[in-house]
């Protein structure tokens, strides 16, 4: 939605916007929504490695940790990522995605697979000083806020990180060590080579 105004010196204008429902769409009942979300969280946790100990407190800590990670999980096409944290870092960070994906390899290796694809998708392609982008470099962060959309901030994405690129390579190696999934690495070979070239030539 856009408005075009032409104002003279010291003139002002007021725009009032009323948002209301039209009554045609049926809102889900709160309890039904909670049941749906709880079911999705349970399925997500049960699809990974199950760790159960004789210590109930430790079991509760593990369950809460996995639940918190599920809250941060975002799918994006054939990739996905764990947001760095809420509320201010509820977005895609290269370093954080790689580190947490490595820490979760024993439990949910698909997080690493999705993260590798997402990191490769946003890998630097050109030299762009405004966003610190360079060919082969892995992003630092990617935001979709208003100031980024207008070009006031360079986070669409921003590449100002020295360790995201080596962490991308480390994640790829650890992913293969845990899964022996050569197919994914073969598809990512151009991205891995570009990352190595950035380290050797531009870092």
Cβ atoms of residues 99 and 167 within 8 Å:
yes
Q: What is the pLDDT of residue 29?
A: 66
3-class SS of residue 59: helix
**45-51 long-range contacts, Cβ below 8 Å, gap at least 24?**
45/70, 47/108, 48/107, 48/108, 49/106, 49/107, 49/108, 51/107
Report the distance separating Cα 171 and Cα 38, nearest Å: 30
C-alpha 18 chain-centroid distance: 33
Domain boundaries, the chain: 51-201
The encoded tokens of residue 200 equal 């050797």
**How much is the pTM?**
0.81
How does pLDDT run along the chain (203 residues), one tens digit per residue? 787 888 899 898 888 888 887 767 666 567 888 888 889 888 988 899 999 999 999 999 999 999 999 999 988 777 788 999 888 898 999 999 999 999 999 999 999 999 999 999 999 999 999 999 999 999 999 998 889 888 898 999 999 999 999 999 999 999 999 999 999 999 999 999 999 999 999 98
The beta strands (E) that lie in the chain are given as: 73-76, 79-82, 92-93, 141-142
Cis peptide before 39 (omega within 30 of 0): no
Backbone angles phi, psi at 109, to 5 degrees: -65, -20
The residue to which tokens 């979760």 are assigned: 104
Spatial CB neighbours of 64, under 8 Å, sequence gap ≥ 6: none
Neighbours of 144 (CB within 10 A): 11
Q: What is the pLDDT of residue 45?
A: 87
Report the distance separating Cα 123 and Cα 160, nearest Å: 12
Q: What is the pLDDT of residue 179?
A: 97
Per-residue 3-state assignment (H helix, E strand, C coil) for 115-166: HHHHHHHCCCCCCEHHHCECCCCCCCEECCCHHHHCCCCCCCCECCCCCHHH
């Amino acid at each position: 939605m856009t408005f075009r105004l032409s104002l003279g010196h010291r003139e002002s204008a007021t725009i009032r916007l009323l948002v209301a429902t039209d009554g045609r769409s049926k809102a889900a009942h709160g309890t039904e929504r909670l049941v749906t979300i709880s079911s999705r969280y349970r399925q997500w946790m049960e699809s990974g490695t199950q760790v159960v100990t004789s210590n109930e407190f430790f079991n509760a800590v593990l369950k809460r940790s996995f639940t918190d990670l599920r809250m941060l999980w975002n799918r994006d096409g054939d990739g996905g990522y764990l947001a760095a944290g809420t509320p201010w870092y509820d977005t895609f960070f290269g370093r954080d995605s790689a580190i947490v994906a490595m820490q979760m390899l024993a439990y949910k290796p698909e997080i690493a697979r999705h993260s590798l694809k997402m990191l490769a998708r946003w890998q630097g392609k050109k030299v762009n000083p405004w966003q610190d982008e360079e060919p082969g470099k892995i992003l630092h962060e990617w935001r979709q806020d208003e100031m980024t959309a207008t070009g006031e901030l360079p986070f669409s994405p921003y590449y100002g990180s020295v360790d995201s690129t080596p962490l991308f390579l480390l994640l790829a190696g650890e992913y293969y060590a845990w899964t022996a999934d050569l197919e994914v690495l073969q598809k990512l070979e151009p991205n891995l080579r570009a990352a190595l070239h950035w380290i050797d030539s531009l870092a």
